[in-house]
Amino acid sequence: MNKNEQIRYVSPNDIAFNPDNPRGQDYEDKDFIALEESIRQFGVMVPLIVFKNDSKKGKKYILLDGERRLKAAQKVKREGVPIHVLAIKKAKAQGEGLKRMFQIHMLREQWEPMAQAQALKFYVDLIKRKNKSITDQDLIGEIAKITKMDGKKVEDRLRLLRFNKETQEKVMENKLDDSYLVQIEQNFVEQLEKNIPQTFKDHSREEIRGKLIAKAEKGLLGTTRAFFWIPDAIMTCKKLDKIEIFAASAKRFIENIEYTIEDLKNDLTKKVQIPTLTSKTTSRSLIKNINKLNSQLSEFDLKKETDKKRKEGILVSLKKLRDTIDQMINNK
C-alpha cells in the first residue's frame, strides 16, 4: 500500500457521496436491507474508498467506492466506518479516481449489460465535453482505455444507450432481452444509415427503434439472432442493383406491426435470389447443431440459475424444443 494511502476510522458524516459515481443503483432492495442489518450488528467490515476533499467547502472526504455501505451506516447511525484514503486530489478525481471507481465495481459485481451501459454514459458525457468533435470510434477507444473493457463490448453497450429510457428500464427489469436492442441497432438501424439513408426521411431513428421494440415485445422478431442475415442481404441487393426492393420491404417491416422478421425474409426471397436466404438446412449441419446443443444442455445446471425470469424462459424454450422434436419423430 502506498504510504499516502491508509486505512483509518472516521464518522460517516465526514464523507460526501460522489455525484459522479457511475453505478447508479437504487438502495432499498432486499440486498440493501440485509446489508443494513449486518452493519447494524457488526459494523462496516470492508473499508470505504475515499479521497480527501481539497476544497475548503464541503465534507472532509469524498467517496469513490462503498456508496451502499456508507448509506447503510448512516441509516443505522454507526459512529465510525473504516476508510481507505487514496492519494488523489479532487481536481484529478474525474480521471484516475473515476477509473478506479468503475473498475472496482466491475471486479466486485457481475453487472448486467444495461447496468454497464448506464455506467458508461458518464464517461461518454465527460469525454464529449472535452472533445465535442470526437468520432464514434475514437470515443469507443477512449472508453475502452479507461474501463479496460473490450472495444466490441463497449460498442455494444453504447448501442443500448441509443434507446429511450422506457426501453432501457424494461431491460433492467428483465422484461426485454438486451440482445434485441444490440441487433436492432447493429444489423438494422446502422445498416439503413449506411446503405438506405432515405429511410429516415419518413421515419426517425427513434421511431424505428420504438416500432421494432414493439415487435420484439409481441414475439414477432423470433430469436435475438433474427437480424444476422440483413447485412448480407443488403450487400447482395446492392450488387444486383435491387436495393430499392430491400428499401420497400424494410419500409413495410417498419410500418406494419404484424409484419414479422420472417415475413421480411420470405418477401425478399421471392423478389431477390439471395443465397443466404434461400439455402436450406442440410442433414449434416443439423446433426452438428443437435450434437452441439446436446453438449451444452448436458453441461448446464438449471438448478443453479438464480434469475427466476431467465429460468422460466429456459423452460419455455425447452418445451418448444420438445414439441418440435416430438413432431419430427411422429412425422418420420
CA distance 111 to 176: 16
Q: At residue 206, does pLDDT exceed 50?
A: yes
Q: What integer is the mean pLDDT of 144-160? A: 89
Of 211, 206, 194, the C-alpha closest to 251 is 211
Query: Letter for the amino acid at 274?
Result: I
- pTM attached to this predicted model: 0.61
Percent of the chain at pLDDT above 70?
84
DSSP 123-152: HHHHHHHH-TT--HHHHHHHHHHHH---HH
Range with lowest mean pLDDT among 145-154, 239-248, 305-314 = 305-314
Q: At residue 322, does pLDDT exceed 70?
A: yes
Range with lowest mean pLDDT among 88-102, 184-198, 208-222 = 88-102
Q: Tell me, what's the pLDDT at 133?
A: 92
Q: What integer is the mean pLDDT of 236-252? A: 94
- Say if CB 48 and CB 94 are below 8 A apart: no
Q: At residue 98, does pLDDT exceed 60?
A: no
| The three cell numbers locating residue 201 | 426521411
CA distance 210 to 205: 9
Highest mean pLDDT out of 8-12, 16-20, 322-326: 8-12
Q: What integer is the mean pLDDT of 178-188? A: 96
Q: At residue 307, does pLDDT exceed 80?
A: no
Q: At residue 2, does pLDDT exceed 60?
A: no
In sequence order, what are the residues at sequence separation of 6 or more whose Cβ sits closer than 8 angstroms to the Cβ of residue 139? Answer: 124, 127, 128, 158
Q: Tell me, what's the pLDDT at 331?
A: 78
- Bridging pattern class, strands 15-16 and 61-65: parallel
Q: Per-residue pLDDT tens for 44-65? A: 988 888 888 877 788 999 887 7
Q: At residue 247, does pLDDT exceed 90?
A: yes
Is 111 in a helix, a strand, or coil?
A: coil
Per domain, the residue ranges of the chain are 6-92+100-108, 110-161, 176-278, 293-330
Confidence at 7, pLDDT banded by 50, 70, 90: confident
Q: Half-sphere exposure of residue 232, counting CA atoms within 13 Å on the CB side?
A: 11
Range with lowest mean pLDDT among 74-88, 101-115, 176-190, 313-327 = 101-115
When the pLDDT of each residue in the chain is averaged and rounded to a whole number, the result is 84
Q: Tell me, what's the pLDDT at 166?
A: 94
Higher pLDDT, 110 or 163: 163
Of 279, 184, 283, 190, the C-alpha closest to 225 is 184
Q: At residue 107, does pLDDT exceed 50?
A: no
Q: At residue 237, does pLDDT exceed 90?
A: yes
Highest mean pLDDT out of 17-21, 263-267, 303-307: 263-267
The highest-level CATH class for domain 6-92+100-108 is alpha beta
